[in-house]
């Protein structure tokens, strides 16, 4: 197994250096997914607070992961419920942005 190395990624125009033992190409694919998700949420919600945007991104990506896992396990029976819950969390976060 290769040792950890520093890999540069970009998310929303900001460069981050990540120490990882993962393949750099895989880390770049992850960064691209995060960047695209954050950009889509920023455009859709108008969120400018980076912490709020990061939380919405985490919730959305976690939802997608859970939906995928549920689909594999149950044949997609619980996927709509997970999607609904994640959308409710996102709506609550948007409503709470005035308190940031």
Domain ranges of the chain: 5-99
Res 78: pLDDT: 61
Res 7: pLDDT: 95
The Cα–Cα gap between 21 and 27 comes to 10
pTM: 0.68
**Block mean pLDDT (10 aa), the chain, length 100:** 85 94 93 95 92 93 87 68 75 61
Res 2: pLDDT: 59
Please count the other Cβ atoms lying within 10 Å of the Cβ belonging to residue 13: 7
Res 69: pLDDT: 85
């Amino acid at each position: 197994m290769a040792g950890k190395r520093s890999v540069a990624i970009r998310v929303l125009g900001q460069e981050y250096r990540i120490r990882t033992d993962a393949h750099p190409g895989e880390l770049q694919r992850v960064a691209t997914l995060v960047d695209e998700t954050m950009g889509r949420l920023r455009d859709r919600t108008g969120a400018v607070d980076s912490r709020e945007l990061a939380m919405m991104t985490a919730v959305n990506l976690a939802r997608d992961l859970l939906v995928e896992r549920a689909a594999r396990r149950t044949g997609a029976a619980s996927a709509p419920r997970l999607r609904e819950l994640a959308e409710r969390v996102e709506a609550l976060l948007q409503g709470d942005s005035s308190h940031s």
